[in-house]
A and B are shown apart, each in its own frame.
Chain A
C-alpha cells in the first residue's frame, strides 16, 4: 500500500489528537518500522489496520468512523494536490466514473507496481449510481467516507448505502442516491 496513505493518516491523527498522542499511540502499536513512513514507499495494509485500531482504542471512536473520517481527509488531500482530476468534473458521479478510466491510469504511470482497487460504476437513473468496490483490503468504510466527501465537494446531498457482497467479502456494493 502506498506510503502516502500512511503519511496522510498520521497527519490526520496529529491534527486530531496532537503530536504527543500520536507518538504515544504509534509506540504502543507495535509497528514494523516504528511508524517511519515515506510517501514514496510501499507498506503492508495490515500496518494501516494496526494504526487505525490503535487510534480507535486510544480515542474510543470506532474504527469504521475513523476510516470514514480518513476518507474525507484523503479527498481534501487529493483536491489540493491533484486539482487536474477535479477541474473538468461537474458533479460527484462524473468524478466517481473517472476513477478507473482517468485517475488510475495516471497513477499506474508513476507507480507501475501499485495494487489499486477497482471501482465499477453504473448509473441506474440520472439520480442514482451503483458502485462496486473491489479490493483485497478491508477498507469499505474508508471508501464510504470518500464518496461522502466527493458529494460534499460538489455541494451535493445524497444517501449512501453500502453492502458487503455475501459470497465475495472483498467486494462492497454502494448505492448512491442524490437528493433533489
Chain B
C-alpha cells in the first residue's frame, strides 16, 4: 500500500462508496417489494387452493351421499322386486302343486312337471339374486344357534329326493360318529350351502348316487367339521377350479345348458363360508365326478350321540304320524295362500281353523284348542307379530302352542322381533308342501316322540308291503302318493286300481274278441291314465300300445298285449294281498 500512513479516505473513494451504497439500498428496496408481491401472490394462490379443496370436498361429499342413497335405493329396489316376484311365483308354484295333485292325464301331468321345474328354477334364481344383493349391501346376517347337522342334512336330502325328476336319484348320507350332535353355528346358512351343493350335484350329473359325508376332527375351537358332497357327473377341469367360486361364473359343459342358473350359487356359498369363518373347495376329475367340501371350526354344544335319535332317523323318511289328526290355526289373509295351505293341510290330514287376520286369530285362540299356529306376518287390521304378542299377553306362556310365522319378506328383517314376541320359527313364503310338512313334523313330533316310538312296530310291518308296492312304481309318483295318502291309503288305492283294471282288461278282451277294436282302444286309454297316476310305468306302456293299436305293422295281436297287462295287474294284486 502506498498510503498506509494516511488513515483518511480520498473524496473520490468516498463518493464511490456512497454511490455503491445508494445502489445497494435501491436494489434492496426493489427486492423487498418483489418479495412482498411474491408473498401476496402466494397467499392469494394458497387461498384459492384452499377454496378449491373445500369445493372439491363438498362435491365429493355430495357425490358420496348420492352414491350411498342410490345404493340404498338399489338395495331396496332389489329387495322389493324380489319380494314382489316371489309372492306371485309362490302362488303359481302352489297352484301347480294343487293341479298336479288331481291330475290324472299323463300329458297334462308332464306339462305341469315342466311348469313346476321352470318355476322352481326361477324361484332359485330370484332367491340367489336376493341373497347376492343382500351380500352386496352388507346386510346378510349370520346367526349363532344350536345346529344338528344330521337332522339338517336329512331334511335337505328328503326335500331333494321328494322333488326328484324323472330318474330316481339316491342321496346317501354318511355322517361319521365323530360329528358332534349339536354345535354352534348358523343352521340356515349351512342348510343353504349344503342344499346348493346337493342341488348342483343333481344338476351336473345324470346318474350315480350323490354322497353326502360329514366328519369332524379335533380343533382348538372344539371341532373342525368337514362336509362333502360327491357326485359322479361331468366333473370340472382343474384350471376352472379358481373361477368356480367367482361371481357370475359357470363352467361350460354339455350339462350346463340343461342346468342353467345365474352362476351365483357357488359364489354365494363362498361368501357364506367366508362369513361363517370357514372354507369351501372342490376336488374333481373331469368325467369322473366332483367332490365339493366345506370346512368349518365349530364350538361343540353336545358331543354325544343319542342312540334313540339314530333309531328314529330312518323313520323320518316316511311320514311320521305325529302330525296326523292335529288341529291347527292358520292366520292368513290372502285367498290363494289360504287355499294352498288348506289343501296342504288336507294332504297332511291336519284339521284347520282359518283366521283372516291377526285380530280374528287372537279371538279364535284359546288354550288347548290348537296344536300349532301358522301365522302370516303381513295381514290387515292386525299383523302376525302383534297377534302373537297379544296371545302371549292374554294367556300363560306354557298354554300357547308353537307358533310358526309365514312371511314373504326377507326372514332376517323380522327375525329379531319374531323371536322377541315368542314366534318359534320363521318360514319363508311361498312355502313348498314338503318344507311345510318338514316344519310341522319338526315342531309337532318333538312333543310326541314317545308316542311315535310306541307305534314303531306295526308301522314297520306295513312298510314292507308298501315298499314292495313302491318298488313297482315310479319313485316320484310313489313318494307323492305316499305323502298324500300315507302307507295304508296307498295300499287301499292300489287295491281299487287292481279291481278297476281287472274289470277293464276283461271288457277290453271281450270287445276285441267281438271285433270292436275301437272299444278296446278306449279301454286301453282309460287303463293308461290309471297306470300313469299310480306310477306303473311298464303297464302304462302296454296300455298305450293298446290305445294306439296297431302301433307298427309287425305288432303282436292285441289280445296278447292285454294278457301281458293282466299278468302285471295280478302281480300288484299279489303284493297288496299279503
Contacts and interface: CB of A to CB of B under 8 A. Distances in A.
B10 interface: yes
A20 B16 contact: no
B257 interface: no
A20 B19 contact: no
A166 interface: no
Interface residues on A, range: 10 to 19
A17 B1 CA distance: 6
B556 interface: no
Contacts of A36: 15-20, 23
B81 interface: no
A27 B2 contact: no
Interface in A1-46: 14-15, 17-21, 23, 26-27, 33-41
Nearest to B9: A19
B308 interface: no
Interface string B90-112: 00000000000000000000000
B3 interface: yes
A148 B471 CA distance: 116
A38 B27 contact: yes
Interface string B2-22: 111000011011011111110
Nearest to A17: B2
Interface in B1-57: 1-4, 9-10, 12-13, 15-21, 23-24, 27-28
A34 B24 CA distance: 15
* Majority DSSP secondary structure for residues of B touching A: helix
Q: Which of A27, A36, A40, A41 has the most CB of B within 10 A?
A: A36
Given A23-B12, A36-B16, A41 B3 contact: no
Contacts of B10: 19-20, 23
Given A33-B23, A40-B27, A18 B17 contact: no
A18 B3 contact: yes
B13 A33 contact: no
Given A23-B13, A41-B27, A34 B19 contact: yes
A113 to B, nearest CB: 11
B19 A18 contact: no
Interface residues of B, number: 19
Closest 9 CB pairs of A and B: A36-B19, A18-B2, A38-B24, A36-B20, A18-B1, A38-B20, A36-B16, A40-B27, A20-B3
A58 B343 CA distance: 131
Interface of B: 1-4, 9-10, 12-13, 15-21, 23-24, 27-28
A96 B59 CA distance: 54
Interface of A: 14-15, 17-21, 23, 26-27, 33-41
A26 B9 CA distance: 15
Nearest to B22: A36
30 contacts: A14-B1, A18-B2, A18-B3, A18-B4, A19-B1, A19-B2, A19-B10, A20-B2, A20-B3, A21-B2, A23-B10, A23-B12, A27-B12, A34-B19, A36-B15, A36-B16, A36-B18, A36-B19, A36-B20, A36-B23, A38-B20, A38-B21, A38-B24, A39-B24, A40-B24, A40-B27, A40-B28, A41-B23, A41-B24, A41-B27
A37 B2 contact: no
A38 B1 contact: no
Contacts of A33: 19, 23
Nearest to B1: A18
A15 B4 CA distance: 11
Nearest to A16: B1
Contacts of B28: 40
Contacts of B12: 23, 27
Contacts of A27: 12
A26 B16 CA distance: 10
B467 to A, nearest CB: 97
A42 B85 CA distance: 86
Nearest to B25: A38
B13 to A, nearest CB: 6
Nearest to A15: B1
A20 B17 CA distance: 15
Contacts of B13: 19, 23
Contacts of B23: 33, 36, 38, 41
A10 to B, nearest CB: 9
Nearest to B4: A18
A11 to B, nearest CB: 12
Given A19-B3, A36-B18, 16 more contacts: A18-B2, A19-B1, A19-B2, A19-B13, A20-B2, A23-B12, A27-B12, A33-B23, A35-B16, A36-B16, A36-B19, A38-B21, A38-B27, A40-B28, A41-B23, A41-B24
B16 to A, nearest CB: 5
Nearest to B3: A20
Contacts of A37: 20
Q: Which of B3, B12, B20 has the most CB of A within 10 A?
A: B20
A14 to B, nearest CB: 8
Nearest to B17: A36
A39 B12 CA distance: 19
A53 to B, nearest CB: 19
B127 to A, nearest CB: 69
A17 B21 CA distance: 24
A130 to B, nearest CB: 39
Nearest to B24: A38
Contacts of B2: 17-21
B66 to A, nearest CB: 47
Contacts of A35: 16
A3 B107 CA distance: 111
B260 to A, nearest CB: 70
Nearest to A14: B1
Contacts of B24: 38-41
A40 to B, nearest CB: 5
B330 to A, nearest CB: 89
A27 B10 CA distance: 13
A127 to B, nearest CB: 42
A39 B17 CA distance: 12
Contacts of A23: 10, 12-13
A139 to B, nearest CB: 23
Nearest to A26: B16
